[in-house]
Amino acid sequence: MNFIQFLLNPPTDLSVGEILLVSYLLGIMHGATPDEHTWPITFSYAIGKYSTKGGMKAGFLFS
């Protein structure tokens, strides 16, 4: 079983510490990829900056 398969389909006999570690790693993976919840916030920051450069800076900072 490779690492990604382990994270996406963890076995049922994990300890509490292992469950927390898997949850933490899944949270990091989810946070690294923008989705339908993050792009509207980034877009509103970009609009609030009134410039392409400021919007890009806010977008990169947020993501």
The ranges assigned to domains in the chain are 1-32, 36-63
Rounded to an integer, the average pLDDT of 24-43 is 71
Question: Is residue 38's pLDDT more than 70?
Answer: no
pLDDT at 53: 73
Q: How confident is the model over 49-60, as pLDDT tens digits?
A: 566 676 677 667
> For the whole prediction, is pTM greater than 0.85?
no
What pLDDT sits at residue 26? 86
Residues 6+ apart with CB under 8 A from 44: none
Sign of CA dihedral 14, 11, 7, 37: negative
